[in-house]
């Protein structure tokens, strides 16, 4: 059996470790990508579930509204049908009234004609009475003459005188009677004339009433037709409303089922996200273990650069303390004083101004190390960033969203990656996460190394870069 040289075996083992480290790092990145995708999907499901919950609420409101519409239409239909029935009855009554008014008008006209005929008859009688009176007057004159002649005749005319006297008495009586008859006829004629006038006025009023009643009858007829038509339309609307109500109920049930399914899917995704979170932690541990093994990987240079920058920052701070330019109390100042008017809120400590003037040049140099570096920033153990890279340390403006993206200095960060980095005391720590970079999700490798000032843990230096 051949003996494998120790150098060859060691080289082979180193290759295996390098391969393991590379695969472990790749696994952590891929798990982060998958977890991020699941997280996005879970967020979208939650958004959809929220939207669907609103849709359920709207569907229930719509279903309730449709129910009220169906009920209202049903009541309207009942009222319309009742109105149509009453309208039909009213139409019959109006027709009967029209018939009665027409008969009354005819009767009034007939009375007027009869009274006119009566006046004509009275006029004739009046003329006859006048003629009789004229005859009576003539007879009276003849009787008077006869009396005079009888008186002249003497004894021989006495018998004729008696007759003449009787004739004169008859003529006087006849004249008186005709006078009375004429007076009565005049009164009757005047009364009849008044009756004719009143009958004519009554007939005219009856004609007006007849025309108005006819117009009313025609209007009621049209109204009856309109009510009948409206009733038919409402009946059709009631049928459609009932159909819509049934469909609305079916839609509500469907939306509820979909919302329930989305909630179930969201719950499943939450569980998957939690499981992937555990897997991400395991992947990060693999990356840390592979880097701690001392085997060179693609991430090793970034670890070394992070630890180097942490030492440079610590050396700068300690040198300033030794030179009396800065106090340890200022460096570890935890009295975070708000910057007035800042939004999002910024805070300052006794270390902030020194960090902006002396530490910022050190962290800016990190961008020359690799183009993939996104930021390099110190952070105290509570997550406070006293200084940031120039591109993220612009003075705040009036837009809070712009400020959040471009004025990231003098702020306290409490996310999981920040807490892990700030409190870590190991030589280095690695976190893998996704970050939105202009509507594009980018996988970030976040390296951190503790910053120790005069043997005291101040915080960490974080260096993040994009994973190709």
The Cα–Cα gap between 116 and 122 comes to 10
Q: How confident is the model at residue 18 (pLDDT cuts 50, 70, 90)?
A: low
CA distances in angstroms from 186 to 84, 124, 242, 284, listed in the order given: 59, 12, 81, 136
Looking at the predicted structure, is the pLDDT value of residue 111 above 70? no
Residues 105/207, Cβ–Cβ less than 8 Å: yes
What value, to the nearest 5°, has the Cα angle with vertex 425 and ends 421 and 427? 90
Q: b vs e for 433-456, b when ≥16 Cβ sit within 10 Å of the residue's Cβ? A: bbeeeeeeebbbbbbbbbbbbeee
Q: How confident is the model at residue 428 (pLDDT cuts 50, 70, 90)?
A: very high
Please report where in the chains the tokens 């440079």 appear, as a residue: 312
Provide the token pair at 413: 């960060």
Domain extents in the chain = 63-254, 299-466
Q: What is the DSSP string of 341-379?
A: T-SS--EE-TTHHHIIIIIHHHHHGGGGT-TTEEEEEEE
3-state secondary structure 96-161: HHHHHHHHHHHHHHHHHHHHHHHHHHHHHHHHHHHHHHHHHHHHHHHHHHHHHHHHHHHHHHHHHH
**pLDDT value of position 419:** 94
pLDDT in tens, 272-307: 656 555 655 666 666 666 666 666 788 889 999 999
**pLDDT value of position 265:** 66
Please report where in the chains the tokens 């009948």 appear, as a residue: 228
The Cα–Cα gap between 188 and 180 comes to 12
Looking at the predicted structure, is the pLDDT value of residue 410 above 90? yes
Question: What CATH class is the domain 63-254?
Answer: mainly alpha
- pTM (2 d.p.): 0.54
Identify the architecture of domain 299-466 in CATH: 2-Layer Sandwich (3.30)
The gap from C-alpha 106 to its chain's centroid, in whole angstroms, comes to 65
Mean pLDDT of 354-379: 97
Looking at the predicted structure, is the pLDDT value of residue 437 above 60? no
pLDDT in tens, 299-354: 889 999 999 999 999 999 999 999 999 999 999 999 999 999 999 999 999 999 99
Residues 44/445, Cβ–Cβ less than 8 Å: no
């Amino acid at each position: 059996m051949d003996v494998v040289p120790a150098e060859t075996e060691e080289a082979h083992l180193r290759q295996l470790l390098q391969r393991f480290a590379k695969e472990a790092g790749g696994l952590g990145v891929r798990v982060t990508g998958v977890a991020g995708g699941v997280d996005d999907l879970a967020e979208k499901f939650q958004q959809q579930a929220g939207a669907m919950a609103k849709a359920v609420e709207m569907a229930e409101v719509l279903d309730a509204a449709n129910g009220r519409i169906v009920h209202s239409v049903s009541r309207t239909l009942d009222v319309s049908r009742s109105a149509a029935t009453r309208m039909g009855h009213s139409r019959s009554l109006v027709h009967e009234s029209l018939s009665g008014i027409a008969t009354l008008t005819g009767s009034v006209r007939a009375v007027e004609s009869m009274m006119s005929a009566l006046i004509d008859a009275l006029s004739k009688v009046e003329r006859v009475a006048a003629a009789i009176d004229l005859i009576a007057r003539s007879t009276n004159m003849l009787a008077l003459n006869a009396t005079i002649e009888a008186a002249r005749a003497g004894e021989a005319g006495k018998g004729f005188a008696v007759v003449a006297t009787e004739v004169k008495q008859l003529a006087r009586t006849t004249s008186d009677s005709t006078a009375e008859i004429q007076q009565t006829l005049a009164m009757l004629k005047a009364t009849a004339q008044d009756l004719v006038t009143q009958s004519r006025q009554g007939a005219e009023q009856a004609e007006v009433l007849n025309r108005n009643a006819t117009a009313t009858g025609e209007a009621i007829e049209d109204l009856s037709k309109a009510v009948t038509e409206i009733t038919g339309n409402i009946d059709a609307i009631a049928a459609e409303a009932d159909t819509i109500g049934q469909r609305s109920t079916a839609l509500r049930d469907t939306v509820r089922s979909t919302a329930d399914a989305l909630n179930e899917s969201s719950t499943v995704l939450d569980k998957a996200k939690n499981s992937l979170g555990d897997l991400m932690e395991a992947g990060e541990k693999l990356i840390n273990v592979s880097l701690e093994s001392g085997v060179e990987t693609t991430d090793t240079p970034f670890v070394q650069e992070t630890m180097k920058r942490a030492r440079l920052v610590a050396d700068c701070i300690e040198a300033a303390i030794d030179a009396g330019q800065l106090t340890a109390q200022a460096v570890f100042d935890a009295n975070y004083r708000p910057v007035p008017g800042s939004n999002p809120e910024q805070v300052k400590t006794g270390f902030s101004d020194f960090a902006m003037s002396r530490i910022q040049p050190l962290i800016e140099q990190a961008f020359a190390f690799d183009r993939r570096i996104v930021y390099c920033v110190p952070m105290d153990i509570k997550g406070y960033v006293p200084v940031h890279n120039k591109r993220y340390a612009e003075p705040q403006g009036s837009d809070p969203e712009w400020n959040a993206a471009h004025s990231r200095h003098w702020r306290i960060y409490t996310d999981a990656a920040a807490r892990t980095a700030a409190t870590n005391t190991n030589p280095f720590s690695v976190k893998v996460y996704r970050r939105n970079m202009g509507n594009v999700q980018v996988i970030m490798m976040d390296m951190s190394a503790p910053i120790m000032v005069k043997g005291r843990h101040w915080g960490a230096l974080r260096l993040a870069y994009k994973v190709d």
